[in-house]
Amino acid sequence: MGQATALLFQDVAVYDPPKGHTDVAALARCPVSFVCVPTPTLSNGRCDLSFVYAAVSQVAPILSDKQVLVIRSTVPPGTVRQLEESFPNTHFASNPEFLRAHRMAEDALRPSRVVIGADTVYSRQMLLKTYHSRLGRRVSYVVTDSVTAEFIKYAANCFLATKVTYAQELRKATRRIGAHYEDVVRAVGLDPRIGPGDEWFIDGLTDECLPKDLEAFTSLLRSWGTDRRLLETVRQLKDEALPVRAAK
């Protein structure tokens, strides 16, 4: 994700000690900095935010009140607002990524949409200006608050995980009766309410994020006391539809 983000914006400074980029001061000249760190799943299903807080703790102190720190990693709704409370002198925003694992560079340069979640006008304008400078207005922008932006990422990935699980069940059924799976999903995908997509052919993909985010979002729904029956069922089937791989 970090490499894909850097590819889009080109003239970037990078702080990534494990990969040899150890000069955090280099970010001091950047009007916008993106946090692109892993958020693995804890044993209780929750999202591990330790890498996010570690990165923010390193970067926030060197930023001025004219710079914006953008959380690109997938985080639970409300994370940016918690960061705003912990680091009150820093401008934050949420900018979830929607990169396909096998097409990260392509999706970075030609995104299907750009979601910007900011709780202040300043952060919103700075992030929009940054994206407009590279992508212009040729993509769809969804500008909202940080909580909604964080929710959008989970909603999207869990819907895709559901679509993948459904696709797996359809394929088993077509094989059982001798129907042509490719023709079925092509015809179904032509319905604009459903749509085509790689998710119909998940065997050709490697996407460790869908099962991880499905696990985390289901855990969040459980903690909120909201209905989660559909996603609980998808989660129970995910090992068959999407083998879990260690998050990078």
The packing angle between helices 146-177 and 181-189, to 10°, is 140
Residue 42 CA to its chain's centroid (Å): 18
Among the listed residues 16, 32, 150, the one whose alpha carbon sits nearest the alpha carbon of residue 92: 32
Catalytic residue status for 158: no
CB distance 221 to 231 below 8 Å: yes
CB distance 70 to 32 below 8 Å: yes
Q: What radius of gyration, in Å, describes the C-alpha atoms of the chain?
A: 19
| DSSP sequence for 47-69 | B--HHHHHHHHHHGGG--TT-EE
Among the listed residues 206, 4, 195, 180, the one whose alpha carbon sits nearest the alpha carbon of residue 95: 4
* Helices (H), ranges, the chain: 2-9, 50-59, 79-86, 104-109, 121-135, 146-177, 181-189, 209-224, 229-241
Among residues 30, 36, 47, 209, the one annotated as catalytic is 209
> Given CA atoms 123, 129, 134, 139 in this order, what sign does their dihedral have?
positive
Give catalytic residues, as residue numbers. 209
